[in-house]
């Protein structure tokens, strides 16, 4: 596969038990799409070193870029960094630049629990960016991000241009027909336009439409060809305007 | 591990591209917790048979129960059933009971695209439940659910008692201290009460508290022991009432 792909490993028992709503994967997926990168896998795992290590190792082999979210604070259940270290068989070593950044954030009062966040895998790159007080950590192709959505977004925005690939083109068509009536047309389009991803999303209870069809590709002419084909294949007057706030 | 665990494979390009918000994993996690089942892994994969098959096969070996969500409609991108069949190396065969259910739902007008949903892996169990018009499919330890949240929930509620294990006990403590100040106390509790899961969740911008600590276990006395220990270890007057709507 020549496209640039990515995966995210979300770490946290609180997500798996439904106590905290996961928001970073959805944010990241949209950001990556706008950068031309395809998110191919989201995995949520518990706060356990061997499980994190297994997921990171497997996904780092399959994708050019892997993100982790969560598990990077000062408490006993923050074990993501150790999980990433284990995935790459690296020892944890105290990093002076991280120690300085943490002391700065805690006004010189960083205790040993806080400073343990400066114990990072040997060979980790410390990435500073505009507005960041604590850097992003990168080991090989794995970027370590915090779980709190505001911090995840701050950090991603600070370094997002590192991940830019090619742009992506998307067209959406809304119809009052149901999925079974348009299935044949969509099948035809996937055969005629192999470079276009064709999506079909039934609305459960939307007054404006019954199915949203998406056509997307890195090649804009292909998207336009698929859009024209869909217009020809659907019965006259079967599409409707996009719903409000779509 | 003796506890009853589960995993969910969410299928859908629309989730990975951020076009549709995933809701079924969070719903399922809470439901399973109340049934005494621990959700150990959430995976989101694209609408591709080999990728679905790999995830289903791996997780079905690791967990007593696996759920799939999405990819079960009548269009070309609905390939979850084929993915599950591939995971277990079973051929797809037309099932008469499914055909009848689909014809019933479509008022006798089910076209061939709809009826293709009656092509299911050999050996699949058809599970009917109260209020269901289309059954839940089960192959080995894998339960196939639709992606539309209302349908997912309807189907789960119809058969939820099949998954009941033991009850789970949870206590929450809110504090105005920050994580670094309570880290030592929490570490002590995890050592003293190994059967209790101790969670620490910093609030980003909540006027009521700075950290929420959770203590949970299948053994209520253990949770109460951990709660008492936490009360002893934290400074006097450092906990606060739960925030509204918590």
Q: Are A227 and A218 in contact (CB under 8 A)?
A: no
Instruction: Please tell me the distance from the alpha carbon of residue B71 to that of residue B145, in angstroms, as a whole number.
Output: 9
For tokens 């790459």, the residue is A88
B40 closest CB neighbour out of A16, A151, A214: A16
Q: Which residues contact A108 (CB under 8 A, 6 or more apart)?
A: none
Measure CA of the first residue to CA of the last residue in chain A; give whole Å: 31
The pLDDT mean for chain A works out to 91
Q: Hey, CA dihedral for A31, A34, A37, A38, is it positive or negative?
A: positive
- Which of A15-24, A143-152, B22-31, B193-202 has the lowest average pLDDT? B193-202
Q: Which residues contact A115 (CB under 8 A, 6 or more apart)?
A: A94, A99, A102, A103
Asked whether the beta carbons of residue A204 and residue B33 sit closer than 8 angstroms, the reply is no
Q: Are A101 and A133 in contact (CB under 8 A)?
A: yes
- Give the tokens for residue A190: 């996937």
Q: What are the Cα distances from residue B221, in Å, to B32, B172, B194?
A: 22, 15, 13
Contacts of B190 in chain A (CB under 8 A): 76
**Closest residue of chain A to B106, computed from CA coordinates:** A180
User: Which residues of chain B register pLDDT less than 70?
Assistant: 1-3, 167, 204-205, 245-246
The structural domains of chain B, ordered by start, are 5-163 (3.40.980.10), 169-240 (3.30.70.1130)
B29 closest CB neighbour out of A16, A76, A151: A16
Q: Is it the case that residue A1 has pLDDT exceeding 50? A: no
Per-residue pLDDT at B231: 95
pLDDT, tens digit (0-9, with 9 covering 90-100), for A86-120:
999 999 999 999 999 999 988 888 899 999 999 99
Query: H or E element: which one contains B14?
Result: helix B13-16
CB atoms within 10 A of CB B221: 11
Show the CA angle centred on residue A52, arms to residues A47 and A56, nearest 5°: 150
pLDDT, tens digit (0-9, with 9 covering 90-100), for A27-73:
999 999 888 899 999 999 999 999 999 999 999 999 999 999 999 98
Per-residue pLDDT at B243: 77
Instruction: Please tell me the distance from the alpha carbon of residue A102 to that of residue A135, in angstroms, as a whole number.
Output: 10
Contacts of B216 in chain A (CB under 8 A): 17
For tokens 């439901």, the residue is B31
Asked whether the beta carbons of residue A186 and residue B75 sit closer than 8 angstroms, the reply is yes
Asked whether the beta carbons of residue A19 and residue B75 sit closer than 8 angstroms, the reply is no
- Give the tokens for residue B36: 């005494």
Instruction: Please tell me the distance from the alpha carbon of residue B192 to that of residue A50, in angstroms, as a whole number.
Output: 23
Per-residue pLDDT at B1: 35
Buried residues in A54-86 as b, exposed as e (16+ CB within 10 A): bbbbbbbeebebbbbbbbbbbbbbbbbbbbbbb
How many Å separate Cα A102 from the centre of its chain?
A: 27
Instruction: Please tell me the distance from the alpha carbon of residue A118 to that of residue B149, in angstroms, as a whole number.
Output: 42
Instruction: Please tell me the distance from the alpha carbon of residue A121 to that of residue A93, in angstroms, as a whole number.
Output: 6
Using only C-alpha atoms, chain A has a radius of gyration, in whole angstroms, of 22
Buried residues in B18-44 as b, exposed as e (16+ CB within 10 A): bbbebbbbbbbbebbbebebbbbbbbb
Instruction: Please tell me the distance from the alpha carbon of residue B9 to that of residue B70, in angstroms, as a whole number.
Output: 9
ipTM: 0.77
Per-residue pLDDT at A6: 97
Beta bridge partners of A93: A120
Predicted TM-score (pTM) of the model is 0.79
A183 closest CB neighbour out of B13, B41, B74: B74
B186 closest CB neighbour out of A33, A38, A76: A76
Q: Are A127 and A159 in contact (CB under 8 A)?
A: yes
**Closest residue of chain A to B201, computed from CA coordinates:** A14
Q: Which residues contact B232 (CB under 8 A, 6 or more apart)?
A: none
Q: How confident is the model at residue A161 (pLDDT cuts 50, 70, 90)?
A: confident
Q: Are B129 and B101 in contact (CB under 8 A)?
A: no
Asked whether the beta carbons of residue A21 and residue B25 sit closer than 8 angstroms, the reply is no
CB atoms within 10 A of CB B167: 11
- Give the tokens for residue B174: 């809110």
How many CB pairs lie under 8 A apart between chains A and B?
Answer: 165
Number of H-type helices and E-type strands within chain A: 9, 12
Q: Is it the case that residue A131 has pLDDT exceeding 90? A: no
Contacts of A179 in chain B (CB under 8 A): 73-75, 113
Contacts of A14 in chain B (CB under 8 A): 199, 201, 214
Instruction: Please tell me the distance from the alpha carbon of residue A67 to that of residue A163, in angstroms, as a whole number.
Output: 11
Q: Are B213 and B198 in contact (CB under 8 A)?
A: yes
Exposed, middle or buried by CB within 10 Å (0-12, 13-18, 19+), for B77? buried
What is the DSSP-derived secondary structure letter of residue B173? E
Instruction: Please tell me the distance from the alpha carbon of residue B50 to that of residue B48, in angstroms, as a whole number.
Output: 6
């Amino acid at each position: 596969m020549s496209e640039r792909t990515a995966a995210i490993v979300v770490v946290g028992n609180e997500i798996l038990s439904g106590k905290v709503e996961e928001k970073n994967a959805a944010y990241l997926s949209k950001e990556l799409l706008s950068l031309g990168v395809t998110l191919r896998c989201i995995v949520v795992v518990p706060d356990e070193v061997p499980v994190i290590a297994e997921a990171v190792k497997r996904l780092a082999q399959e994708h050019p870029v892997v993100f982790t979210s969560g598990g990077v604070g000062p408490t006993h259940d923050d074990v993501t960094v150790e999980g990433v270290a284990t995935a790459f068989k690296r020892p944890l070593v105290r990093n002076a630049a991280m120690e300085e950044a943490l002391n700065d954030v805690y006004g010189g009062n960083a205790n040993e629990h806080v400073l343990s966040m400066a114990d990072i895998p040997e060979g980790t790159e410390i990435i500073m960016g505009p507005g960041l007080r604590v850097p992003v950590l990168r080991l090989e192709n794995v970027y370590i991000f915090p779980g709190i959505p505001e911090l995840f977004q701050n950090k991603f925005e600070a370094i997002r241009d590192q991940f830019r690939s090619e742009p992506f083109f998307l067209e959406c068509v809304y119809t009052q027909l149901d999925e079974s009536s348009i299935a044949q047309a969509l099948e035809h389009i996937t055969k005629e336009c192999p470079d276009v991803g064709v999506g079909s999303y039934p609305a459960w209870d939307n007054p404006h439409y019954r199915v949203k069809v998406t056509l997307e590709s890195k090649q804009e002419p292909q998207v336009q060809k698929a859009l024209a084909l869909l217009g020809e294949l659907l019965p006259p007057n079967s599409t409707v305007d996009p719903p409000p706030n779509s």
